[in-house]
A and B are shown apart, each in its own frame.
Chain A
């Protein structure tokens, strides 16, 4: 089944404890992206990647890192999480960026930082 898989789905952590949210897609998509969803703000893009070893900042990149060493994987790294990073995170991918390309989303990762 074509899908985007995120782990963990739920995580509670404490301020400053590094964590990684993994994302993997099995559709050979070039483009991958991370979003966070917060009430009243919709979805905001954190980082995106056009291809292997090519990443760039989205609208809200502060406090996050990403890497794209393989085409299928695009992990989101929080080096020193803070409470304002408590949110629902989504990884998404598409064959190409832009135009009529459709994003396929993961099921989401709910992160709570205490």
Chain B
């Protein structure tokens, strides 16, 4: 079946460090891929998405590239800020009724 695996956290970084959060998926065909972010005390919100192979989603300095050959959608940011501290969820969606989420990765950024 379809599934998403993402690295366990927490990921702890100093401000301005480089961030990578790994995400791999299992799915038939060509799913759409998403990163959602959950700030403390809030619901999830879309960070970025990609709908076909080699697409790059980007937003707020974050990027992720849809890699069909490695079934991956790793999230990266060149210089994190304290305000990026949150839980990040990788997710996929085939032409079905359900968005499938990974377990989430907590990012903690210290000044």
The answer on a CB contact under 8 Å between B43 and A40 is no
The answer on a CB contact under 8 Å between A103 and B99 is yes
* Binding-face segment, B18-26, B69-77, B78-86, B90-98: B90-98
Distance in Å: Cβ of A23 to nearest Cβ of chain B: 11
Q: Is B51 an interface residue (CB 8 A)?
A: yes
Given contacts A41-B103, A42-B89, contact A98 B44 (CB under 8 A): no
The CA-CA distance from A34 to B49 in the complex, in Å, is 21
Q: Is A74 an interface residue (CB 8 A)?
A: no
B interface majority secondary structure: loop
Task: List, in ascending order, chain B residues with CB within 8 A of A101's CB.
Answer: 93
Q: Is A61 an interface residue (CB 8 A)?
A: no
The answer on a CB contact under 8 Å between B34 and A107 is no
The CA-CA distance from A90 to B98 in the complex, in Å, is 14
* Binding-face segment, A11-19, A43-51, A62-70, A75-83: A43-51
The answer on a CB contact under 8 Å between A42 and B49 is no
The answer on a CB contact under 8 Å between B97 and A102 is no
The answer on a CB contact under 8 Å between A108 and B103 is no
Contact of A48 among B49, B89, B95, B97 (CB under 8 A): B97
Please name 10 further chain A to chain B contacts, defined as beta carbons within 8 Å, in addition to the given A43-B89, A92-B43, A99-B94, sorted by A numbering.
Answer: A31-B97, A41-B103, A43-B44, A56-B97, A90-B43, A90-B44, A99-B32, A101-B93, A103-B36, A104-B45
- Between A and B, 7 residue pairs with Cβ closer than 8 Å are A33-B98, A43-B89, A43-B101, A99-B95, A102-B49, A103-B46, A105-B43
A→B interface (CB under 8 Å): 4, 31, 33, 40-43, 45, 48, 50, 56, 58, 90, 92, 97-108
